[in-house]
Amino acid sequence: MKFTDYQLQPFLQQALEKLSFSTPTKIQEKIIPLLLKGESVIGQSQTGSGKSHSFLLPLIHKIDPDKQELQLVITVPSRELAEQLVRVTSQLIEEAPTPILLEKCVGGTDKLRQVQKLQQTAPHIVIGTPGRIFDLMRENALLIQTATMMVVDEADMTFDLGFLETVDEIASRMPKDLQMSVFSATIPDKIKPFLKKYLGNPKIIHVENKQLVSPTITNQLLVTKTKNPLEVLFELITLGHPYLMLIFVNTKQKADEVTAFLREKSLKVATIHGDIPARERRRVMKQIQQMEYQYVVATDLAARGIDIEGVSHVINLEIPSELEFFIHRVGRTGRNGLAGQAITFYTPNQEQAIQTLEAKGISFETMELKNGELVESYDRSRREKRKNTQTSDLDPRLKGMIKKAKKHVKPGYKKKLTHEIKQKQRIERKKQNRQSARKKNSK
């Protein structure tokens, strides 16, 4: 299957050639034909699967630029996601013979000026946050009722941030024959009533990534034990020369704390989290793209909401509570076939969280910092292996003796029994070593 098989408008084919895109990804292969046919769709896929192009290409193809009216509305839960999507859309419509008008509607910008602009000229496509789109509707600047296509991107994040009711308000003012598409990494039960209300009998496309973490990423656990994580972080990030390093934490407070610590160490560090004003975030993002910063401390807003090119290293200073965020964080590096390094700080009391990630198919190398170097550490499962060796390979009589020794018996007898058990264990080990040696010699 090639993009040329979809018979998209020539300007879209030109844009794809310019981007060196020839073969669709799995989700694109499944979604594009459905949207071209006018179907409503629910799409589930992980970050980096090509989801944005799967809906932008067919829906832009259907836009009639000769109609001076709004035809496509795309909602996203954050300004950064809106800016990212606007950037991708702009690339696709650049060569359109009749200009396709695109409007970004997000908070933190001059609303009055935008109202005046929209009252003069209606865009064909609107991409923005639910709050600003709804505000412009109430000002009668955005005539939403002409739009026949709508996309709710990152629906689970939209719900988590409390924006789903506003999306509902927007959708309820659109035509009954609206073609709606909803994209989400997960489909929580709480958004299902919304889906049922607007999508009827949608086509559900769920694309599982066989590899949750790109094979080009070196995925490591850094054992910190009792060391101060911030001191370990400073030692780690000053070992080499990362091209661009993202340092992830779970809260805004922690992001500020880490940033302050690193700045005290004379490092130039950028910070991205939800409490930083929109204008400031845009300025910082621009500086990051211009390589004015080598280190960026961020919350999960950046994991899902920001596409920063050239990330060579990702540091999880704290393990996220949700597996999905771990994948989004690590997925910021190792993109487009380039090598990347992801390091997750770890103490033995976080073993359960790591085992949950491993159960999903994510594998780690266990490392530690020693004498200014990142070296392989101990086998995390060694205790379990030792325990299994001590019990599962013992003969039944020895197992019975160990069980008996655990019971309340006379001290003298227990001492004698313990001595006998140790002797038996020595004999068992010698026997196992001899068997292993014979197997090696017979090969």
Give 291-333 pLDDT, tens digit per residue.
889 899 988 766 565 667 788 899 999 988 676 678 878 888 8
Q: Is residue 440 part of a domain?
A: no
CB-neighbour burial class of residue 441 (10 A; exposed 0-12, middle 13-18, buried 19+): exposed
410 and 368 within one domain? no
Report the predicted TM-score, pTM, of the whole model to 2 decimal places: 0.62
Are residues 137 and 180 part of one domain?
Answer: yes
**Which residue in this structure is represented by tokens 């313990």?**
418
179 lies in the same domain as 301: no
Kindly state the average pLDDT of the residues 79-99: 90
Q: Of 164, 185, 206, at which residue does a domain stop?
A: 206
99 DSSP assignment? P
Does one domain contain both 143 and 45?
Answer: yes
Q: Give the contacts of 352 (CB within 8 A, at least 6 positions apart).
A: none
pLDDT, tens digit (0-9, with 9 covering 90-100), for 4-50 = 899 999 999 999 988 878 888 888 999 999 999 999 999 987 665 67
Whether 105 has a pLDDT exceeding 90, the answer reads yes
Band (108; pLDDT cuts 50, 70, 90): confident
The verdict on 236 and 349 lying in the same domain is yes
In a domain, 57, yes or no: yes
On whether both 265 and 403 belong to a single domain, the answer is no
Strand pairing of 203-206 and 217-223? unpaired
Residue finishing a domain among 185, 206, 227: 206
Co-location of 258 and 407 in the same domain? no
Residue type, 313: H
Pair (224, 125) in one structural domain: no
pLDDT at position 317, please?
Answer: 93
CATH number of the domain enclosing 302 = 3.40.50.300
Q: Domain for residue 388, yes or no?
A: no
- Name the H helices within 265-394: 278-289, 300-305, 323-330, 351-359, 382-391
- Distance in angstroms between the alpha carbons of the first and the last residue of the chain: 48
Q: Which helix (H) or strand (E) holds 151?
A: strand 149-152
Crossing angle of helices 164-171 and 130-138, rounded to 10°: 40
pLDDT of residue 387: 45
Q: Over the stretch 358-407, which tens digit does the pLDDT of each residue have?
A: 877 788 888 888 887 888 876 565 444 444 444 445 555 555 555 555 55
Residue labelled with tokens 């509707």: 137
Lowest mean pLDDT among 137-151, 157-171, 427-441: 427-441
What is the per-residue pLDDT across 335-352, written as a single tens digit (0 to 9) for each? 767 788 999 998 888 888
Looking at the structure, tell me whether residues 333 and 368 fall in a common domain: yes
Q: Is residue 198 part of a domain?
A: yes
206, 233, 249 — which closes off a domain?
A: 206
Q: Is residue 389 part of a domain?
A: no
User: What are the backbone dihedrals phi and psi of residue 246, each rounded to the nearest 5 degrees, phi first?
Assistant: -100, 125
Domain co-membership, 65 together with 189: yes
- Decide: 256 and 317 in contact? Cβ < 8 Å: no
- Domain-embedded: residue 441: no
| Domain around 273 | 217-376
Structural domain contains residue 425 = yes
Residue 384: per-residue pLDDT: 46
Same domain, 341 and 420: no
Of 23-37, 83-97, 104-118, 412-426, the range with the lowest mean pLDDT is 412-426
- Residue 386 in domain: no
Residue 173 sits in the same domain as residue 246: no
- What is the structure's pLDDT at 381? 57
- Please tell me the total count of domains within the chain: 3
β-bridge mates for residue 341, sequence order = 218, 313
Question: What's the confidence (pLDDT) of residue 388?
Answer: 47
For the record, the structure tokens of 2 come out as: 């090639």
Residue 337 has which token pair? 């076939």
Structure-block tokens of residue 246: 């993202």
Q: Supply the pLDDT for residue 347.
A: 84
Whole-number percent of the chain with pLDDT over 70: 81
